[in-house]
Amino acid sequence: MQVSIENVGSLGRKLTVRLPAQRLEDTIRSRIQEMGRSARLKGFRPGKVPAKVIEQRFGSQIRNEALSEMIGSSFQEAVTQEKLRPAVQPSIATTGRPENGEIEYTATFEVLPEIGKLDVAGLEIVKPVASVTDPDIDQMIETLRLQRRSWHAVDRAAKDGDMVLFEFSAQAEGFRHPESGTDRVGAVLGSGAYSKELEDKLAGHKAGDEFTTHVDFPAAVRTPALAGKSVDVSVKLVRVQEAQLPAVDEAFAASFGVKEGGLGRFREDVRANLERELKGVLMGRLKAGALEKLVEAHPELELPQGMVENEARQLARQAGLQSPDAVAQFLPTARRRVSAGLLIGELARQNDIRLDSRRVSEALATIASTYEEPEQVVELYSRDPQLMGALQNRVIEDQVVEWLADHAKCSEQQLSFNDVMRPGA
């Protein structure tokens, strides 16, 4: 194999590879013979199909597959030999035809940038710290009770916390909703889920009451036609229901799968779930802050354009967008993500940070525990290289970020559970 390299810009490389044509012909001949022993063609006994017939029927397909595999394997040999680190898949150009006893192809690609020694000692990183307390568990149990509440009709005026079913129509100059008749809507008073102003005006009325009032609807309302509208609203209450919360007892615990251990075990499970969620969010916030500082410290890092464009396309697809303009709007975010990924990889390489298989297993077990049949989730990841690869990447990122926090100027920020899980609430 003969290899020559041409630099195309600072990160671009053009690799020309020449291989003995006989290597390809030998592979093709071997595959034709192998197919002849296994092919089933009408008019021939199994395993007795002549090589000439195989070549006539499948020769083009066999040649293309053999050429593609030879290029793939020889490209890996070439970049290893020349100590190149491709950033993206190469663009291959070849006629595929032998000339002077050789097959020639060119591979054009970008390489990863050479990054010097990374010194993180001067980076100032803030590590958020929080823990789950008994009041946090109590609050979560109340949330679970609300999720399991039942509703019962009452013959009294509505108040906060009640579910009110009402019919209404809205009018303004040149506008009516609906065009005829009324809409029927249910709202929990005090939640603000429909319109806080209208909910406040429903309070104090009972089933059968009718009244007219003026309402300024918010821009975000379940009825799009009313978004941002200032209208007169005619209302008729149909039903008022009050919530009945289930008692926190062993039956309540059993409804969440706790068959033994009663309320004590139930609280332990709630704590474990909250701690798992808190750990993930804390790591996410630490990672975001640490990587932002790391990227800011290396503004001169040259990025392979192909990696940036691929990342931007992936971000656009995740957002349900595919047009060139949509991809372009994600380029700044893509650059930051590619820069962070390259720096993480280099920190891992320079400091011999290796993937911890135990942590991968723990992360997979944590993911699986949120499903009804954890064993099936574990099996799914084990059979899907893409899923497992994404999980492994996340784990090694976590390991590098933890190393970074240990070796940078790291200060702790003490927060409550709610500060972390419900910022701005």
Is 296 in contact with 285 (CB distance < 8 Å)?
no
Q: Are residues 309 and 375 in the same domain?
A: yes
At CA 294, angle to CA 291 and CA 299, rounded to 5? 120
pLDDT of residue 93: 96
Give the integer Cα–Cα distance in Å for 140 and 423. 16
- pLDDT digit string (tens) for 266-293? 999 999 999 999 999 999 999 999 999 9
pLDDT of residue 162: 96
Handedness of CA 96, 97, 103, 106 (dihedral sign): negative
CATH number at residue 300: 1.10.3120
Q: Classify residue 51: in a domain, yes or no.
A: yes
Q: Classify residue 142: in a domain, yes or no.
A: no
Q: Are residues 78 and 192 in the same domain?
A: no
CATH number at residue 172: 3.10.50.40
pLDDT higher than threshold 90 for residue 325: no
pLDDT higher than threshold 80 for residue 387: yes
pLDDT of residue 161: 94
Q: Are residues 218 and 103 in the same domain?
A: no
- 415 burial (CB, 10 Å; 0-12 / 13-18 / 19+) is middle
pLDDT band at 140 (very low <50, low <70, confident <90, very high): very high
pLDDT band at 190 (very low <50, low <70, confident <90, very high): very high
Give the integer Cα–Cα distance in Å for 96 and 93. 9
pLDDT (mean) for 254-261: 90
More confident residue, 35 or 130: 130
Q: Classify residue 139: in a domain, yes or no.
A: no
Q: Are residues 258 and 343 in the same domain?
A: yes
pLDDT (mean) for 332-345: 96
Q: Classify residue 412: in a domain, yes or no.
A: yes
pLDDT of residue 424: 66
Interacting residues of 239 by C-beta distance below 8 A, sequence separation 6+: 153, 164, 165, 207
pLDDT band at 422 (very low <50, low <70, confident <90, very high): confident
Considering only 53-57, 109-113, 125-129, which range has the smallest mean pLDDT? 53-57
> How far, in Å, are 179, 301, 307, 408 from residue 411 at the CA level?
60, 27, 33, 9
Q: For residue 221, is it left (φ>0), alpha (ψ between -120 and 50) or beta?
A: beta
Interacting residues of 197 by C-beta distance below 8 A, sequence separation 6+: 215, 216, 217
Boundary residue ending a domain (78, 110, 142): 110
Q: Are residues 298 and 322 in the same domain?
A: yes
pLDDT band at 50 (very low <50, low <70, confident <90, very high): confident
Residue 346 structural domain: 124-134+252-421
CATH number at residue 58: 3.30.70.1050
Is 395 in contact with 108 (CB distance < 8 Å)?
no
CA dihedral 58, 59, 62, 65 (to 10 degrees): -110
Give the integer Cα–Cα distance in Å for 421 and 397. 22
pLDDT of residue 425: 58
Q: Classify residue 326: in a domain, yes or no.
A: yes
Interacting residues of 257 by C-beta distance below 8 A, sequence separation 6+: none
Give the integer Cα–Cα distance in Å for 143 and 145. 5
| Helix axis angle, 385-407 to 331-350, nearest 10° | 70
Q: Are residues 238 and 297 in the same domain?
A: no
More confident residue, 67 or 50: 67
pLDDT (mean) for 229-244: 97
pLDDT higher than threshold 80 for residue 40: no
Give the integer Cα–Cα distance in Å for 116 and 301. 10
| Helix axis angle, 262-296 to 134-147, nearest 10° | 110
Q: Are residues 192 and 326 in the same domain?
A: no
Boundary residue ending a domain (193, 212, 244): 244
The pair phi, psi for residue 124, each rounded to 5°, is -100, 115
Boundary residue ending a domain (244, 277, 305): 244
Q: Are residues 129 and 103 in the same domain?
A: no
pLDDT (mean) for 109-121: 95
pTM of the full structure: 0.78
pLDDT of residue 36: 81
Give the integer Cα–Cα distance in Å for 223 and 287. 39
CA dihedral 348, 351, 357, 363 (to 10 degrees): -60
Count of CB atoms situated within 10 Å of the CB of 292: 13
Q: Classify residue 27: in a domain, yes or no.
A: yes
- 283 burial (CB, 10 Å; 0-12 / 13-18 / 19+) is middle
Q: Are residues 238 and 277 in the same domain?
A: no
Q: Are residues 80 and 170 in the same domain?
A: no
User: Looking at the 3D structure of the chain, how many domains does it have?
Assistant: 3
> How far, in Å, are 255, 338, 372, 407 from residue 351 at the CA level?
49, 20, 40, 11
Q: Are residues 238 and 340 in the same domain?
A: no
Give the integer Cα–Cα distance in Å for 284 and 130. 13
Q: Classify residue 141: in a domain, yes or no.
A: no
pLDDT (mean) for 386-415: 96
Q: Classify residue 117: in a domain, yes or no.
A: no
Considering only 85-89, 249-253, 309-313, 324-328, which range has the smallest mean pLDDT? 324-328
Q: Are residues 309 and 239 in the same domain?
A: no
Spatial CA neighbour of 365 closest among 375, 353, 380, 351: 375
Q: How far apart are the first and last CA of the chain?
A: 65
pLDDT (mean) for 321-349: 93
pLDDT band at 414 (very low <50, low <70, confident <90, very high): very high
